[in-house]
Amino acid sequence: MAEPYKRSRTLRRVKVKLASRTTVHYKQRKPKLGTCGVTGQTLKGVPRELPNEIKKLSKTERRPERPYGGVLSSKAMRSVFKEKARKE
Amino acid sequence: MIEIGRLCLKIAGRDAGKKCVIVDVLDSTFVLIDGETRRRKCNILHVEPLKNKVELKKNASHEDVKKVFEGLGLKTRETKPKQKTEKPVKKKKVSEKKKDVKKKTGKKKETKVESTLEDKAASAKKEDKTASKKTSEQVKK
């Protein structure tokens, strides 16, 4: 019987062709795409990688270089600042 | 609302959330802004006008804007001019081993040249001597 971690679907399976046979490698699944906290749409400019891969990127490659970058979409951010301007 | 001297809040891009003032109205869509943001051309849609207005000339310099902002208790964005630096010249690194090899080879060549010259001179002398001996013998005969 295979090990318990191979019986569940937490890890994704990758078929690898070797010289003699094809085997299955078990790899960690990528995290979900980032979404806007207000509108719920997928964030652009945010890489979908495992934490160890994101660690290798520079700070500017991890999220957009604007306030609320990587948290809110640009539309949502604009509406936040518009409200702020109109309240002043 | 969009006029020279109008205080605005930038709502798009990396300067979003920063206050600026309209310095020039370029056309129906673009304005020139300065202040907490960098001095730049900007779309009207990317700027939200505020209630306040300040007195500014058309195309006012950054220093004038700075004075106005100091009066309002705001800071302007200052960019430092780039300092000129000379390009570093790369020096070829030669390892000590290679240096030693070069020295040795150089000496050898010199010695070889000297030796060859000396040999030539000696051989020439010998030839002269043998020739003179032969001539003396012939004379004796």
Contact B16, A79 (CB under 8 A): no
Q: Is residue B128 in some structural domain?
A: yes
Q: Is residue B101 in some structural domain?
A: yes
Task: Tell whether B21 and B63 lie within a shared domain.
Answer: yes
Alpha-carbon separation of residue B20 from A78, B31, B104 (angstroms): 16, 11, 72
pLDDT tens for each residue of B109-131: 555 556 667 777 777 777 777 67
Domain housing A26: 4-87
Task: Tell whether B102 and B55 lie within a shared domain.
Answer: no
ipTM for the whole complex: 0.76
pTM, two decimal places: 0.66
Counted domains in chain A: 1
Rounded Cα gap, residues B110 and B116, in angstroms: 10
Interface of A with B in 54-83 (CB under 8 A): 65-67, 74, 77-78, 81-82
Domain housing B110: 95-141
Q: Is residue B77 in some structural domain?
A: no
Average pLDDT of the residues in B95-121: 66
For position B28, which CATH number holds?
2.30.30.30
pLDDT tens for each residue of A32-60: 999 999 999 999 999 999 999 999 999 99
Task: Tell whether B104 and B65 lie within a shared domain.
Answer: no
Which chain A residues are within 8 Å of B48, Cβ to Cβ? Answer: 81-82, 85-86
